[in-house]
Structure 1
Amino acid sequence: MDDSSLSSPVDVDKGFAIAFVVLLFLFLIVMIFRCVKLVKNPYEASLPTTEPSLS
């Protein structure tokens, strides 16, 4: 009985830490793909941002 109440907060903290690391990893993957797209073709990547201001 005492062990389950003691391990519960540790599991919650570990869950938050794992979720944070997973979200950080996904954000890093998305940023890597965006940067690769920008490096491969910088004019196409910047075209939608400049097009509305010209028209």
Structure 2
Amino acid sequence: MDTPNLPVARFDVDVDLGFALFFFFLLCFFLLVTIVRCAQMVLDPYSSISVSIYQEEQSEE
């Protein structure tokens, strides 16, 4: 009797597609972080300046 051939579990992994998707999602992540950072700067521009520099500019006037 012939034994039935069981389907072999093969994982066809496309390495190039994996790298492309990884770097695509990494790029999207950095883009999202940049958008959030720029939005914070637009909403409150003086929060990124240290207090000592801001006080020095105010005292010179």
TM-score computed with the length of structure 2 as normaliser: 0.60
Which segments of 5 or more consecutive residues in structure 1 lack a partner in the other structure? none
RMSD between aligned alpha carbons?
2.2
| 2:16 alignment partner in structure 1 | 13
Q: Larger Cα Rg: Structure 1 or Structure 2? A: 2
Q: Deviations over 1:18-53 (max 9, x none)?
A: 0000000000000000000000000012237x47xx
Would you tell me which structure has more helix in proportion to its own residues? Answer: 1
Report percent identity of matched pairs. 41
